Every structure is written in structure tokens, then in C-alpha cells.
Chains A and B, each alone.
Chain A
């Protein structure tokens, strides 16, 4: 599923970038997300529990930074598994400096495999979009370190 959106942050691009690149701060900003392990500077593992009307489907998600230009752009890919269900995602995030902060444009390709793709095909786009937006909002509202 193709998703996209935009977020405004009062932070300057460099401050927002620092927040985005800190997995722990991102995890703290997201309800139902727990950072499991920082694997290296480019990758981490998180445990997420997205809730749908049909219940909670916990996922262990491996996330990797594929490409980045500090303060401007980051490409992220992820793959997760929950029993028989799989999720794959690619997210592109672009930051643009504005007088009042930073404009964040994002788009994502999220693919679900297994019964979840059937059960969740109506609700998952909204949940996935909400989670991405929440992560970006959390970073956008973070206090500069």
C-alpha cells in the first residue's frame, strides 16, 4: 500500500534530524513501541503492537537506514514478522527548512503478507499511516538535546 503525508515541526531541520536519528527517542514517542536493540548505527530492532479493531498484532520489526543526507533526507526500510504474518516497508522522508521550523514530507510503501493482509486490508493503511505520522510528530515535538 502506498501512503504519504506531511508534518510540520517547530524545530530547525538539524534539530529534527537529531531526533529522527535517535531510535530511543522515536520509540519513546510512540505508544505501543518498545526499542529492543540498537544493532548498529544504521539499524535497530523494535517491538511494536499495532492495535486494530480485531485485536493487537505484535510485530518484531528490523529497521535499517538505507540512505541519508543529514538534515534533508532519509530512506528507511523495515521487515517484521508476527507468527505467520509478515510486513515489509520502505519509507522516504524529506525535510525542508522553513522560517517557522521544518516541513516534513513522507511517503511509504508498506506490504503485508499472510492473513493479516486480508484481515487488515481496510484498516491497516490507516494504522500504518498513523504510526508513521506519530513517529514523525513525536520527533517534531521533541525537545532539542
Chain B
């Protein structure tokens, strides 16, 4: 399925980092011994089922649970009315009126999207819980609804949240440079009135799940779940449940994918906790695929209006202006962070100096959005890449040369973009050249010219960025009152009784191989093999170290997680050497760690195994001098803190992310004129994520991101009925998540530009899911170049292609004004 041009051998070189060490996790997965939430069981456990609103917008006049509650085997029921008594609304990050949004774990008074939970049942079996839920009688009064993310901002639109009084959740102006000057000076202005990025999502193999036990004796809540950012959930759930946040004890182990979608599960976990407390039993919930698609979280849906692009005669693009409407769905459960996170990649891969975006986040009667691979950035990057491509097509520039002219150049790094972000490293022209070489672009240009009748061939490039490691100070651009800045991650390194090295993480891996890469890093510091390092599977808040934003999201593990591991391992090494120096009667500076031994450099006879060090510190401590015994524990916690500063909220200016990996993709498509069917003939991806810790794992993530993006470009789009607000494709029958049958042979290569801001030179990666959307849109545009059609949608199924092929393009989706 792939061509990998470079495959380092295992065991070569002096460092475990940089090698494709086999994944520690694979053994248990291949043996079917992974522990996923739905595999777990507790004594007296019941099963939860959520009754959901069939209406997109309806007042709840009454809920009668009496028939359900009377059924044998039903342990408890829960309604919105009870929730409003037992909990407080979740806190809101939005400023102004939207800060007053009232959001509970179940619908209270009104249902605002089809699939919103309105009641829940805990019962002896899964099936009984479902049957009981169906016996709950809910009387609804349907209300006018709105599913259009732009029209919902109009004053006459039905209001979702009366307490806010508007469907506009946030609005702000991002204005850098002088776009009016640029538009006045430009030789050409390219205008694109409308572009649209659709709703799609992640479809992890494992849907959301949780096993929750509210222990009445200690008043603690044990949550075994697959949530991917538990400490963020604690921030929401503690105050809502009116308990200490440290009474919520999190535990994860194996997780079948997350991609951001598993960040906002806290609403469900809150309801399950309430059911557990009410029934005095552990409560388990495992979401079905349909529930996941219609009630969990979708990626951001964005409409761009009135785009204007000033271009000089030589092809220099000065910037752009646009209005953006981001449809957040019915609630703001991670939003409106998306209203600032896109600006990590304000100018994409380009040296634009003048940018103005008027950004509006709106509410509609649809599933709330939540982070989804490439969160909030892939939409913007798609628009940027689309306008670069349209400039090339409309003004007659070669798309490759135009990109190279406008790319940030290798010598520009560190490169400060107009909003204060500092791109750390890269070589975009080299990455593009490598990508085009992988697909042999001249060969396909020749085939394009000689395409058979009824077929069209197009070649598209997708240049994208994967900003990694959030500066949560960006949240203050949204709401200056929020008490968040910077970021961090924690890790613990321990030496066990017999010299075993153990690492525990603050992160919550969902398939990203943290056990493997953390072991590689620790092994390098401590002079052992990764096989000698045990990394605790998953995250356990009672055992692992953590900070407020611990978790796995925002392409940051390679930076925050692994630098935390390195720091903790260095602390442990220092303690080991201190004890070793005493044991060996040598100076610490004369010692080294190698092969599980502390030894005097150049004198292998003077050595002590790690087990001996552990014995002295843990069981033979009276033998140690006080100054050593009092300062060594062999349990070392380290917090890596990225070098962030407080942002300038007035100017919306600052380094709001730490690293910028880049991915250049190229795609060759064939279009069947009779059907509009798009077939990918060739596909290549070149990834530059700085220093590579484990190339094979990186390649796997490149594959996953490419597949996800290809699905988003050609197969995956949530469709809502405008009249009824019904989600029309809440099953895999109609929502087609890409499978191996849809994914072409992928050619991959890499460029390695060390990060200048991360101590290990690595950059977070794995969210390059946007690149296929750009590349495929641009390839379709290339194939349709002589028709006058303009690709203005990110989702291009056969019917849209057919329409573009057969439409009258007298009025086009683009206009050029030249001086």
C-alpha cells in the first residue's frame, strides 16, 4: 500500500530515537488482548441507554418515565428536570451573551438537535435499557429550526438559546497588515464570493464508552473511559456536579482512535455518573455507531464569503480578506476555541503580509462541533490553498511555480507571520519537489493531454500545516477573562526494586504508540534498550502525573509528552548517578549509564547494576549517607513547559502554537464525464515533522491522515434536511467512512527540518488530514480547467462533479479584476 523511500535499520546508530522500533502495543492488539472500555466489567454493573430527541428543535412539554421505571431490571432513570436540580450548567468559554448559555448533560426544557439526549435509563442489560427508554413518554412541541450556518445569524432566525437571544456565539475581526492598501495596489484582484467547507467527522473504530462508578462511601467517581482529554473534562464536570474535581478519578487504557472527537464526551459521562449515584451501581455505556454519528460531535462546518485576493503581476500574492461563518451546532462544548485556533495557520504556507478575516461563530440545530483531526485549521487551510490554486488558474500561472514563489522559504525560518506566530522550520519547495517526483508529474501531464474521450485527468497539490502544541493563551483572544495561558505536560520516571525502569505519562494515547516512543526516549537517556522500559498503558489520574491540559490532542505528544519523558528520565539519571558515585567511590562526572549498569568510564570492572542502585535507595537506605538518601527517591516527576508568552489580546497577536509541521500532498484524479465519478490514480505525501522519533509510526499516521482526508474530500459529509433538521446519514449505510477499498496506493517520503523551538527537534504531527481535501479539490479544478467550473466546495461527490461538468458557467464562482 505504500512506497517508503527511506527505511532506517533497527539498531543502527547510537540513538534509539530515529529508528523504527517495533511498537510495544502491537503484541496485545494482535493477540486480541487490548483492554477497551466495553471489555470491562464490574460487579452489580448496569447498562445505560440514552433516549434522544427525534426533533431538531422542540420544547419538551413533559417526560413520563413511570412505565420504564416500573420494568423489572430497570435500576434508574434520569431526566433533564432531575439534571437541572442535581447539577449546575457547564461553564462557558465564550464571552458576552453566549457566556450565559445554559448547557446540561441532558436536554432541559428544549431539545436543540436531533439526537440530543433527553432522558437516560440504567438497567440490567443493554437491551432492557433500550426497551425501557422506548417506554418513556415524551411530549414535544416542535419549534421552527435552522440548520444554515450563515442564515442563522440573521435577526429573524429561530433562536436556539433564549437566554442568549441570538444565534451568534462569537464574532471578531482578525486584521493584520493593510489589506485595503494591498487591494488598491494589486495588479489583479481575484474575487471568490462563496466557498464552503462541509461537516464531516472522525469515525474511530471504537465509539465513545465509559464505565462509571460513583462510590457513595468516599463520594468519588471512578471513570474508566476512552475520553482523550480527561483533565479538561474534570474542569467542566467538577463544578457541574458540585464536587471537588479531584474526586473524579480517570482511567484509560486502550482506545480505538480519537482524533479529537473524544474530547467532549464529558456530557455523557456526567449523566452516567448521576445514574450510578442514583442507582448505587456502576454504570456502563457504549455508544453505537449511529449514536456516535448523530449525537457525539462533528467537525467544524465553515462558509467563506466575499474573498478578495490581491495579486501582483509577477504572481506575488499579497494576502486576502474574507468573512467566515463557522457553524458550531447547538452547543459550545469546546467552542468557541475553534474561532481562534484556525489562526495558527493564518497565512498557511505562504508569505502573505495582509490578511483580514471577519470571523463569526454561529449556532444551529445540529450536532455540536468538537475538535476533529486538523481542528478548525484544515477548513482555513483548504480555503487558502484553494485561493492560491484559483489565482494560478485564473491568471495563468503554473500552480507549482506560483506556490514556490509564495511559500515561506527555507532561509526565512524562524518566520514570524503577521499575527505573531513563529513558524519554526521547514523546506516547503523541497517538500513540493519530492512530492511531485513521487507521482512523476511529467508522466501524468502527458497522460492528461492524451486522456481518452469521456475521461479527464487532473493533478492537484495540497500544501498544509499541522500546528502542534497549543498555547492556551489563545483562549484569551476569544475571552480575555479566561484564566488560561501556555501549556505543559508531565511524566514520571521510576526505578523499580530490581532495576526496572517505568515511565508513566500525562497523555492519553488512542493509537499513537506513546508506549513505544516514550520508551525510545527514556532508553536513550538511561542507556538501556526500549525493551527494558515499561511505559504504563493509558492514563490513570491516581497514578500518572498530569497538568491542567494533559491529554492527547493538538499534535503535541512528540513535543510536550516526549520532552516531559526526557526531563523525567534525566532527573532519574541524575539520582542514579548520585547513588552510583557513592557506591563506586567515583565522581559523578566519571560515570555513565550503559546496558543497565552504572559504570566508571573506561573501567568496566567498576560498575553496579541498576538493581543495585534501587536496592540502596529503596531497601538498603541506611547504608546511604543522609545527603544522598534525603535527596533521592528514584521517582521523578517532570513537567515540560513550552516557552510560551501571554498573548496580546487587543491585537490578537502572539505565538499561539509552538511547532508547525508541514505536509505536501499531490494527487492525480480521473473524472468520468458520464457519471462524475472521481478515481484517484496516484497519490503522494511528503511529511516534514522535524526530527523523527519513529519513522514507521510517523508513516502510519501519514497514512491515517491521508485516508481520513480522502474520505472527507470524496465520501464523508453530514447531510441535514433543511425542513426537518433531520440528519440523513447517521449510519455507515449512508455515511461512507473511507475504507481500504477507497484508498489508493500511497507514496510517502519525508523532509526532516528540526524544530527550533522544541528541545528534541521534533514537531507534533498526525493531523495533516487537511492536505487531501486541498489536493483533491485542486486536482478536480485542474481536470475541469477548460469548462469554466470553479471548485468552491470541499466535498465533491460524483453528483457535484456531474453538475459542474454540465452547468452553464456564464456566471462563474470567481471574478478577476485587473489593472
Contact = CB atoms under 8 A, between A and B. Distances in A.
Interface of A: 54, 83-86, 111-115, 117-119, 121-122
B51 interface: yes
Given A118-B734, A119-B733, A111 B724 contact: yes
B54 interface: yes
B726 A113 contact: yes
B114 A114 contact: yes
10 contacts: A84-B52, A84-B134, A85-B54, A86-B55, A114-B726, A117-B721, A118-B290, A118-B728, A119-B730, A121-B729
Contacts of A121: 728-729, 734
Contacts of B733: 54, 119, 122
B133 interface: yes
B121 interface: no
Interface string B706-735: 000000000000000101101111110110
A125 to B, nearest CB: 12
A140 to B, nearest CB: 31
Given A83-B134, A84-B134, A114 B54 contact: yes
B384 interface: no
Contacts of B730: 115, 118-119
**Most B CB atoms within 10 A — which of A83, A85, A111?**
A83
Contacts of A85: 54
Interface residues of B, number: 21
B459 interface: no
A59 to B, nearest CB: 13
A113 B55 CA distance: 6
A81 B51 CA distance: 14
B348 to A, nearest CB: 35
Contacts of B318: none
B294 interface: yes
Nearest to B134: A83
Given A113-B114, A114-B114, A119-B733, A84 B728 contact: no
Nearest to B137: A81
Nearest to A109: B723
A115 B290 contact: yes
A86 B138 CA distance: 12
A112 B133 contact: no
B724 A118 contact: no
A119 B289 CA distance: 12
B282 to A, nearest CB: 25
Nearest to B51: A84
Q: Which 3 A-B pairs have the closest CB atoms?
A: A114-B54, A83-B134, A113-B54
Given A86-B54, A113-B114, A118 B133 contact: no
Nearest to B725: A113
A86 B733 CA distance: 20
Interface in B543-584: none
Contacts of A54: 733
Nearest to B50: A84
Contact of A118 (B51, B55, B134, B726): B726
A115 B734 contact: no
Interface string B287-323: 0001000100000000000000000000000000000
Interface in B202-260: none
Given A84-B134, A114-B54, 7 more contacts: A54-B733, A84-B51, A84-B133, A113-B54, A117-B726, A118-B728, A122-B734
Given A84-B51, A85-B54, A112 B726 contact: yes
Given A113-B114, A115-B290, A115-B294, A84 B54 contact: yes
A113 B721 CA distance: 11
Nearest to B721: A117
Contacts of B731: 115, 118-119
A86 B51 CA distance: 13
Contacts of B51: 84
A118 B367 CA distance: 14
Interface string B334-369: 000000000000000000000000000000000000
B60 to A, nearest CB: 14
Contacts of A112: 726
B138 to A, nearest CB: 9
B728 A114 contact: no
Nearest to A115: B290
A27 to B, nearest CB: 24
Nearest to B733: A119
Contacts of A83: 133-134
B9 to A, nearest CB: 50
B743 to A, nearest CB: 25
Q: Which residue, of B51, B723, B724, has the highest number of chain A Cβ atoms within 10 A?
A: B724
A82 B772 CA distance: 41
A117 B52 contact: no
Nearest to B138: A84
A50 B359 CA distance: 47
B724 A114 contact: no
A135 to B, nearest CB: 24
A114 B728 CA distance: 10
Contact of A117 (B133, B134, B724): B724
A84 B731 CA distance: 16
Nearest to A86: B54
A83 B734 CA distance: 22
Nearest to A113: B54
A27 B742 CA distance: 47
Contacts of A115: 52, 115, 290, 294, 730-731
A121 B721 CA distance: 10
Contacts of A84: 51-52, 54, 133-134
A84 B137 CA distance: 10
Contacts of B52: 84, 114-115
A122 B736 CA distance: 14
Contacts of B134: 83-84
Nearest to B295: A115
A119 to B, nearest CB: 6
Contacts of A114: 52, 54, 114, 726
Nearest to B291: A115
Q: Which of A84, A86, A111, A118 has the most CB of B within 10 A?
A: A118
Contacts of A113: 54-55, 114, 724, 726
A121 B723 CA distance: 14
Interface in B21-77: 51-52, 54-55
Interface in B636-678: none
A122 B734 CA distance: 9
Contacts of B729: 118, 121
A121 B734 CA distance: 9
Contacts of B721: 117
A140 B724 CA distance: 33
